[in-house]
Structure 1
Amino acid sequence: MARKQQEKSRQTKQELMDAANELFGKKGFMETTVAEITKHAGYAKGSFYRHWASKDKLFLEIVEDKLTQYRNLRDDRLGKAASLEEVMNIIWDFLENIVRDHNWAKVFLEFTVYASRIPELREDLSLSQYRFSETVFANLIRNFIETDYPPEKIGAFNTVLFEGFMVQNALKTGVVDLTDVRETAINLALSKGLKKAE
């Protein structure tokens, strides 16, 4: 009986997450209410609060799930990489997958701006499971760096380029496409991370 209840609880939670994900994509994070999420999923509000303390916590769990899916695809390939250039291309394939999910990219930016004003959320969002940080990036490329240039700086530059592109893309203001950003990021990493041929 307990197993059946646990399974029902997992199913309810997943259906609420799916409903939230759909509504966030259509309406945005701020405009979507807990009442709309529960109604869309066919549950009472109490079902929501049995799983999350707030809409913010639900969103963070969705972010973590999405990034875990993307990272699993990336990590399978990273284990076979043999050069800095190959690793950089795998990382940028991962980042491009995020950008291709247009609605999600916009909602994540919206939530990031919202979270920046709430200390607890800002702290949560800075954790590596919720974003692509320079530290995570540095750890992925560290073994392929041949120079004394800090891999954290390469990670920071790539993170800034990617996040800047995300903002520009969401606002539809740019003349630079992701291919240009990717090429610039990879060239920068190679020029700073590899020894020059003599």
Structure 2
Amino acid sequence: MDAKSLEELLYIEGEQMKMSEKQRLILNAAIEMFAEKGFASTSTSEIAKKAGVAEGTIFRHYKTKKDLLLSIVMPTVTKVVAPAFAKNFSKEVFEQDYPSYEVFIREMLNNRFEFVKKHFPVLKIFIQEAFYQEEFRNVYKQVFNEHVYDKFKHIIEHFQSTGELRDLPADTIIRTTISSIIGLIITRFLLMGEEMDEELEKERTIQFILYGVKQKR
């Protein structure tokens, strides 16, 4: 991650992460190494080498590698990236008027793709470690419930009232929509990369959300 990208992470929404220059170097190195190799496969000696500091410098601040993940990466997640993710997401996507649910899905999908592309090194850590770190999952739940859920539900209920969407529980439609988009993001950025025809798969995902897999008659 270059200096400009790191600065964007540290100053999102006007909040500055307070840390020494060595801590900044360690943060940058940890983000790059965790994103490249994963948390479990990265050693503190590798982080120290990449940061240009002694390994003992890391352990003066953090007792274990997990403490490093939680004490450096997690504050970036909880105080800066996650709230900004949800607030910007809510403002850019949910505070708009849409003529149809399909148009709404397109906007949401394209918005999240651009966000992932911009902040991929850190988001890759989130995606990888969410399966193993309960702290990460709790952050996701909190920011989603605080900034996104009610507005998402309102949009669904609106299009149900117009007859466009089936009379299913809003939570079911939310879960189906989000899981389809997240699945596409994981496939694109973690599994297939640029081998995927991104625009074609976006369109297929949108059609799947709207119509499922049943043959039209």
2:130 matched residue in structure 1: 112
| Count of residues paired in the alignment | 178
2:191 matched residue in structure 1: 171
1:125 matched residue in structure 2: 136
Residues 25 and 104, structure 1, Cα contact 8 Å, conserved in 2: yes
Q: Deviations over 1:29-73 (max 9, x none)?
A: 2222234334416360244328x9613414433444433343343
Amino acid at match of 1:110: Q
What is the percent sequence identity of the aligned residues?
15
1:161 equivalenced with 2:180 (yes/no): yes
**1:15 shift after superposition:** 3.8
Distance 1:26 1:130 in 2: 26
Q: Deviations over 1:151-189 (max 9, x none)?
A: 211221122213322443322299864435544555566
2:170 matched residue in structure 1: 151
Q: State the secondary structure of the residue aligned to 2:130.
A: helix
* Structure 1 residue runs of 4 or more that deviate by more than 4 Å after TM superposition: 84-87, 101-106, 130-138, 173-178, 184-191
Moved more, 57-66 or 158-167: 57-66
The structure-2 alpha-carbon separation of the partners of 1:92 and 1:131, relative to structure 1 and needing over 3 Å to count, comes to: farther
2:214 matched residue in structure 1: none
**1:81 shift after superposition:** 0.2
Residue of structure 1 aligned with 2:111, choices 70, 94, 105: 94
Residue of structure 2 aligned with 1:29, choices 39, 45, 58: 39
Distance 2:121 2:58 in 1: 25
TM-score by length of 2: 0.58
1:61 equivalenced with 2:61 (yes/no): no
Q: State the secondary structure of the residue aligned to 2:34.
A: helix
Distance 1:8 1:136 in 2: 22
1:18 equivalenced with 2:18 (yes/no): no
Residues 16 and 38, structure 1, Cα contact 8 Å, conserved in 2: yes
Amino acid at match of 2:41: E
Unpaired segments ≥5 residues, structure 1: 1-6, 116-120, 192-198
Amino acid at match of 1:11: S
Distance 1:95 1:74 in 2: 8
The structure-2 alpha-carbon separation of the partners of 1:160 and 1:168, relative to structure 1 and needing over 3 Å to count, comes to: same
> Matches of residues 35-74 of structure 1 in structure 2 within 5 Å?
35-39=45-49, 40=51, 42=53, 44-49=57-62, 54-57=67-70, 58-64=72-78, 65-74=80-89
Distance 2:171 2:192 in 1: 30
Q: State the secondary structure of the residue aligned to 2:29.
A: helix
1:4 matched residue in structure 2: none
TM-score by length of 1: 0.62
Unpaired segments ≥5 residues, structure 2: 1-15, 161-166, 212-217
Distance 1:139 1:149 in 2: 16
